[in-house]
Structure 1
């Protein structure tokens, strides 16, 4: 049943029940006449009309959105006003039918007003409380939806980040290869195309399989290898059991890019980047080791964000948005004098069937 039908059923049912109850009580004390019956019908119609008018005012002026200190006086005043209208309409008839009572109780008008106000106030209060609670619930739902929408938008922006300088550098490297090594240039164009496609698709998926992310990282390192040549060495130590686990898209690429930009690039004789993954209980560990030195040699990530660029803040914020504050962890620290290690620990949540492959780790090198 729709809310509109429920409303009218409550209107007609409640006022009919009240008026006929009072008519029955009155008939027990005095002789029943059809005049009282018609009066009861008239009161039902007037009560429905008045309370429906109250409903229109509440909806038109959006009373339920008002704070309680403003809403409560309006509800009380409405109950008294509607009770007064019903009293004034019925008082001439009450004087005629209750002559003895009027003589013995000179303040009968106020008693009748209080009686009608009580009935009206019960209806007004019930209607207002229901819609006030419903309005509060809808407001909370809207806040949750808005918060979720903002987080999702922020997550999409973070997922789709790709350093434009890398694209420019890659294009310059490919341009140099066109005349020197055309086949290598074609391969590099394909690798760059794969990276750009994955970057564009990143805002459509919250997570991807690790194997897809590793393919993007391999293409990225292959392009950087064209630029740095022998100054860059890269290798992978991947547990096959982690290949089909879910990770945030473009996350590893961001960390590897950060490792090259702030580590290998600054090393006079070049350096290395190593990507490792393994399972530990219900968590997958991903480590990125690279040549480099942190500005401040401590484990406080906040102190390295400015020095290490947008990538670290991007990674930390994305993990918070996807997994919450406790499920996933990220840190970066100085492993040794000239080696930096970034660690990402994620819960082993999968989308689809978990595929168990050979237990022997996958080791790849790009030298």
Structure 2
């Protein structure tokens, strides 16, 4: 069975309540009985039901709910006034035709009767319109808010996917360059490098499907990557880890730590004639935890935040955690650069 819409439920319920209120006052306050009370009341209710529905049809037909709020208020007043007189004219004609007029009413002219009923009807229809307009205004505001939230969510999702789509090719090209350098020089090591790359690609494919991954899984990608880079740099690359085991299960954006390590190799170790150290640290600090990548080198006043890898990291943190996470990169001392990610627990 098809359910009635909220509008029809309100129409039936509202005019039924109007009838019940009149019956209540008739039996509790009215000083005398009226022979045609119930017939007249039913006529009023039927007319009110039809007139208010016609008013709603006009509102929908001309899109009055889409007008600016100030014009809606003016329209509400004007529409109510027009339909109040329409109701009054129809009511006087129907009452006269059905012989329901009381002796008191009969002595007035038609024009005066129309004005008298129109005044009382205006307030009822004004209340009806006020409820109708208010309901749709609130529902429209809620819908606009929901649409805005959905749009923001979609934009964030698309931005995250765009960032991820750039991260993986950026990483793959760097890794392939490392392998290419080994093919002629040391085929055995090249095969080992291909195995390492295979492990990393498998992990990165998994990263495409999730918004966060465990730090432990992220570290495994980093270790494979550094093992691959160690083949290229040999003794010029030294790696250290200082990881609090309690942080291994914490969620981090996939491929983020690997991106920071990759930047440390590209902008730090590769530019040092003697090579240097990469140190990866993870620890709790107050009500958050920190991921830190330190590398031998210096910024020389440059901001690596302009590069895609770092700017992508900043954007991901903002999209996923808002103001609860941030990124910073700076010279720790004369020959050490520190990239730090602060994430909520």
Please report the TM-score for the alignment, with normalisation by the length of structure 2.
Answer: 0.84
**Aligned counterpart, 1:116:** 121
Find the residue that maps to 1:343 and give its secondary structure: strand
Q: Aligned partners of 2:148, 2:170: CA distance in 1, in Å?
A: 38
In the other structure, the counterpart of 1:276 is 281
Is the Cα contact below 8 Å between 2:85 and 2:114 reproduced in 1? no
Separation of aligned partners in 2, 1:87 and 1:125? 20
For 1:283 and 1:168, locate their aligned partners in 2 and report how far apart those are by CA, in whole Å. 34
Residue 321 (str. 1) matches residue 326 (str. 2): no
Which residue, out of 122, 137, 143, partners 1:138? 143
Pairwise CA distance, 1:145: 1.9
SS in 1 for 2:268: helix
By how many angstroms is 1:275 displaced? 0.9
SS at match of 2:290: strand
List gaps (5 residues or longer) in structure 1: 298-302, 349-367
User: Deviation per CA, 1:282-302, whole angstroms, max 9, x where unpaired?
Assistant: 4322221112211328xxxxx
Distance in 2, matches of 1:334 and 1:262, equals 13
Q: Does 1:246 align with 2:236?
A: no
Q: Which has the higher contact order (CA 8 A, sep 6+)?
A: 1
Hey, what does 1:32 align to over in structure 2? 35
- 1:141 and 1:3 map into 2 onto residues whose CA distance is 25
Q: Provide closer, same or farther for how the CA distance between residues 109 and 290 of structure 1 changes in structure 2, counting only shifts above 3 A.
A: same
The 2-side partners of 1:198 and 1:62 are apart by 55
8 A Cα contact 2:189 2:231, kept in partner = no
Mapped contact 1:156–1:204 kept (Cα < 8 A): no
Name the residue aligned to 1:356: none
Distance 1:64-1:187 versus aligned 2 partners, 3 A rule: farther
Distance in 2, Cα, partners of 1:28 & 1:203: 80
Aligned residues: CA RMSD? 3.1
Structure 2 residue matching 1:265: 3-state secondary structure: helix
Q: Deviations over 1:206-230 (max 9, x none)?
A: 2211111111111222222233333
| Correspondence list, 1:32-181, <5 A | 32-33=35-36, 37-92=38-93, 97=101, 100-101=104-105, 103=107, 107-162=112-167, 164=169, 166-178=171-183, 180-181=185-186
Change (3 A) 1:61 1:267: farther
* Distance in 1, Cα, partners of 2:71 & 2:198: 62
Task: From the superposition, tell whether residues 2 and 266 of structure 1 become closer, same or farther in structure 2 (CA, over 3 Å).
Answer: farther
1:265 to 1:182, Cα distance in 2 relative to 1, 3 A: closer
User: Structure 1 stretches (4+) deviating beyond 6 angstroms?
Assistant: none
1:335 matches 2:332: yes
Shift of 1:28: 5.5
Correspondence for 2:310 among 309, 312, 316? 312
Aligned to 1:362: none
- Could you say if the C-alpha distance between residues 193 and 47 of structure 1 is closer, same or farther in structure 2, counting changes exceeding 3 Å? farther
- CA 1:281–1:2: 2 relative to 1, 3 Å: farther
TM-score by length of 1: 0.80
1:167 Cα deviation after fit? 2.4
Q: Residues 200 and 163 (structure 1 numbering): CA distance in 2 closer, same or farther, change over 3 Å?
A: closer
Of 49-58 and 172-181, deviating more is: 172-181
The answer on whether the counterparts of 1:160 and 1:200 sit within 8 Å (CA) in structure 2 is no
Count of residue pairs brought into register by the alignment: 338
Q: Secondary structure at the match of 1:204?
A: coil
Q: Where in structure 2 are there 5+ consecutive unaligned residues?
A: none
Contact 1:295 1:304 in 2 (8 A): no
Is this contact kept in 2: 1:161–1:199, CA < 8 A? no
Answer whether contact 1:232 1:271 (CA < 8 A) is retained: yes
1:269 aligns to what SS in structure 2?
coil
